[in-house]
Amino acid sequence: MAAFLQWRRFVFFDKETVKDPAENGKNFVLPIGVSACDSGRGHIVLGDILPGGQIWFLTRSLQLTSFQAYKLRVTHLYQLKQHSILVSVGQDEQGINPLVKVWNLDKRDSGSPLCTRIFPAIPGNKPTEVSCLSVHENLNFMAIGFTDGSVVLTKGDITRDRHSKTLTLHEGTSPITGLAFRQAGKVTHLFVAALEKVLCYTLSVKEYPRLDLDTHGCALNCSALTDPSQDSQFIVAGDDCVYLYQPDERGPCFAFDGHKLLAHWHRGYLLLLTRDNKSPNKSEFGSRETSPTEKQVLTVYDLDNKFIAYSASFDGVIDVLAEWGSFYVLTHDSKMYVLQEKDTQTKLEMLFKKNLFVMAINLAKSQHLDSDGLSEIFRQYGDHLYIKGDHDGAIQQYIRTIGKLEPSYVIRKFLDAQRIHNLTAYLQALHRQSLANADHTTLLLNCYTKLKDSSKLEEFIKSSESEVHFDVEIAIKVLRQAGYHSHAVFLAERHAHHEWYLKIQLEDLKNYQEALRYIGRLPFEQAESNMKRYGKTLMHHVPEGTTLLLKRLCTDYQPSRDSGEGTHPGRDEFIPIFANNPHELREFLEHMIEVEPRSSQGVYDTLLELRLQDWAHEQDPEKILQEAALSLLKSDNTVFDKALVLCQMHSFKEGVLYLYEKGKLYQQIMHYHMQNEEYGKVVEACKRYGEQEVCLWEQALGYFARKEEDCKTYISEVLQHIEQNNLMPPLLVVQTLAHNSTATLSVIKDYLINKLQRESQQIEDDERKIRQYREETAHLRAEIQELRTSAKIFQKTKCSMCNSPLELPSVHFLCGHSFHQHCFESYAESEAECPTCTPGNRKVMDMLRAQDQKRDLHDHFTRQLRCSNDGFSVVADYFGRGVFNKLTLITDTPGGKAGTGSLEADLQRDLLMHTKRNA
Please spell the DSSP secondary structure of 319-350, one letter per residue.
EEEEETTEEEEEETTS-EEEEEEPPHHHHHHH
Report mean pLDDT in 10-residue bins for the chain, 919 residues. 65 89 83 89 87 87 90 92 93 87 91 90 84 93 93 91 86 92 92 93 90 91 90 90 91 87 90 70 48 75 86 90 92 90 79 75 69 77 81 82 83 74 80 79 76 72 61 75 74 75 75 77 77 75 72 68 46 65 61 59 63 63 60 62 68 65 69 72 70 68 64 67 65 64 60 75 86 87 81 77 81 81 78 80 80 66 71 73 57 42 46 39
Residues 316-340, buried b or exposed e (16+ Cβ, 10 A)?
bbbbbbbbeebbbbbbbeebbbbbe
Res 96: pLDDT: 84
Cα torsion 66, 70, 73, 78: sign: negative
Q: Which of 245, 275, 247 is nearest to 188 (CA)?
A: 247
Q: Which of 590, 589, 655, 657 is nearest to 616 (CA)?
A: 655
Counting Cβ atoms within 10 Å, is residue 406 exposed (0-12), middle (13-18) or buried (19+)?
A: exposed
Calculate the CA 295 to chain-centre distance.
75
CA–CA dist 836, 842 (Å, integer)? 11
Please give the DSSP secondary-structure letter assigned to residue 557.
B
CA–CA dist 699, 720 (Å, integer)? 15
Res 470: pLDDT: 64
- CA dist 5 to 261, 265, 271, 347, 525, Å? 19, 20, 16, 21, 76
Backbone angles phi, psi at 441, to 5 degrees: -60, -45
Residues 6+ apart with CB under 8 A from 497: 472, 473, 476, 491
Are 856 and 834 in contact by the 8 Å Cβ rule? The answer is no
Q: What is the CA radius of gyration of the chain?
A: 66
Res 710: pLDDT: 58
Are 48 and 59 in contact by the 8 Å Cβ rule? The answer is no
Counting Cβ atoms within 10 Å, is residue 874 exposed (0-12), middle (13-18) or buried (19+)?
A: middle
Neighbours of 268 (CB within 10 A): 17
Counting Cβ atoms within 10 Å, is residue 388 exposed (0-12), middle (13-18) or buried (19+)?
A: exposed
**Ramachandran quadrant class, 6 (left: phi over 0; alpha: psi -120 to 50; beta: rest):** alpha
DSSP-assigned states of every residue in 145-167: EETTS-EEEEEE-TT-STTEEEE
Q: Degrees (nearest 5) of the Cα angle 214, 215, 217?
A: 85
**Which residue pairs from 568-572 have beta carbons closer than 8 angstroms and sit at least 24 positions apart in sequence?**
568/596, 569/528, 570/600, 570/602, 571/596, 571/599, 571/600, 571/602, 571/603, 572/600, 572/602, 572/603, 572/606
Neighbours of 145 (CB within 10 A): 27
Residues 306-315, buried b or exposed e (16+ Cβ, 10 A)?
ebbbbeeebe
CA–CA dist 831, 838 (Å, integer)? 11
Are 566 and 553 in contact by the 8 Å Cβ rule? The answer is no
Residues 154-166, buried b or exposed e (16+ Cβ, 10 A)?
bbbebbebeebeb
Res 911: pLDDT: 42
Calculate the CA 355 to chain-centre distance.
51
Residues 6+ apart with CB under 8 A from 69: 47, 53, 54, 55, 88, 90, 101, 103
Are 377 and 364 in contact by the 8 Å Cβ rule? The answer is yes
Q: Which of 89, 75, 86, 67 is nearest to 33 (CA)?
A: 75
DSSP-assigned states of every residue in 22-50: GGTTEEP-PPTTEEEEEEETTEEEEEE-S
Res 723: pLDDT: 62
Q: Which of 179, 177, 201, 197 is nearest to 188 (CA)?
A: 201
Neighbours of 715 (CB within 10 A): 25
Are 31 and 46 in contact by the 8 Å Cβ rule? The answer is yes
Res 142: pLDDT: 94
Q: Residue 307 forms beta bridges with which residues? A: 8, 302
Q: Are strands 307-315 and 8-9 parallel, antiparallel or unpaired?
A: parallel
- CA dist 376 to 191, 369, 516, Å? 43, 11, 55
Residues 6+ apart with CB under 8 A from 675: none
CA–CA dist 613, 606 (Å, integer)? 11
Q: Which of 491, 440, 438, 489 is nearest to 461 (CA)?
A: 491
Residues 6+ apart with CB under 8 A from 607: 586, 589, 590, 593, 632
Q: Are strands 2-3 and 250-255 parallel, antiparallel or unpaired?
A: parallel
List alpha helices for 281-390, DSSP H.
344-353, 357-366, 371-388
Neighbours of 891 (CB within 10 A): 8
Res 711: pLDDT: 66
Res 5: pLDDT: 54
